[in-house]
Amino acid sequence: EPEVTQTPSHQVTQMGQEVILRCVPISNHLYFYWYRQILGQKVEFLVSFYNNEISEKSEIFDDQFSVERPDGSNFTLKIRSTKLEDSAMYFCASSEGVAGNSPLHFGNGTRLTVT
């Protein structure tokens, strides 16, 4: 069964540095998402992306964050200047459509540690 793959599985960075988290969505999916989970807290929606533009974003997704689909397969999340509170598990997901009958397929996540 096709999977969403995320790299790296763990990323350690220093505060103030830029990081790029990478995702390869399922190939026939058109909608892409980033969610995050701070340790011990709920999984939170960050952003959704369709047709090369952001379709929805949460309050968390401020100017420090950006997403891009640089080619036909990758979907990236960039954090421009990381803060300690950005430490979290970041999950990429994709779906064929947006209705509730087109469920999200999640990747294994990237654990980001900001020191």
Partner 1 sequence: AQTVTQSQPEMSVQEAETVTLSCTYDTSESNYYLFWYKQPPSRQMILVIRQEAYKQQNATENRFSVNFQKAAKSFSLKISDSQLGDTAMYFCAFMKSNAGNMLTFGGGTRLMVKP
Q: Nearer to partner 1 by C-beta: 19 or 33?
A: 33
Please give the backbone phi and psi of residue 84, each rounded to the nearest 5 degrees, phi first.
-55, -40
Q: Nearer to partner 1 by C-beta: 15 or 43?
A: 43
E strands within the chain? 5-7, 10-13, 19-24, 31-37, 43-50, 53-57, 65-68, 75-79, 88-95, 105-106, 110-114
Q: Nearer to partner 1 by C-beta: 31 or 65?
A: 31
Minimum distance from residue 47 beta carbon to partner 1 (Å): 9
Instruction: Return residues touching partner 1 (CB under 8 A).
Output: 3, 31, 33, 35, 41-45, 48, 55-56, 58, 89, 91, 93, 95, 98-109
